[in-house]
Structure 1
Amino acid sequence: MFICICNALSDSELKDAIAQGHGSVDDVYRACGAERQCGCCAENIAEMMREHRDDNWAIPDGEGRVVAA
């Protein structure tokens, strides 16, 4: 699914760039070989970054539960 229409960036392409550890929305654009155009997708990309960060901060506690690091 396209998240950024201006740059034709798909959710999978953006997720790959986010997984590389880019720290800002503009860094993610650059990693995809693009730059911010209208900015309508910037909040969606920021949300994808938050979700990725949250998913990677949860670690098992040894009891089968997941705790935030």
Structure 2
Amino acid sequence: MYVCLCNGISDRQIREVVDRGAGTLTEVQCYLPVANCCGRCEDTAQEVIEGHIESASRPVAA
């Protein structure tokens, strides 16, 4: 899904940047122009980042 319509940034792109080591919105913004125009997507972008970090830290069921 698109998170940032102004710049065409998807949740997948944000998760890829988090997988490369970004852990905050500010760090993601170093790689992607998300939440730097109108700002409406800032909360959603933050939720994607936090959700992806949380899901990566959960143990996988055997």
Answer yes or no: same fold by TM over 0.5: yes
Structure 1 residue 53 corresponds to structure 2 residue 53: yes
Structure 1 alignment gaps of length 5 or more = 65-69
Which residue does the alignment assign to 1:41?
Answer: 41
Listed as ranges, the gaps of 5+ residues in structure 2 are: none
**Letter of the structure 1 residue corresponding to residue 25 of structure 2:** V
TM-score, length of structure 1 as denominator length = 0.69
Question: Bigger radius of gyration, 1 or 2?
Answer: 1
Quote the RMSD (CA, aligned, Å).
2.0
**TM-score, with normalisation over the residues of structure 2?**
0.74
Moved over 2 A (4+): none
Normalized per residue, the structure richer in strand is 1
Give the count of matched residue pairs: 61
* In 1, Cα distance between equivalents of 2:22 and 2:41: 17
Q: Is residue 2–residue 9 contact of structure 2 (8 Å, CA) maintained in 1?
A: yes
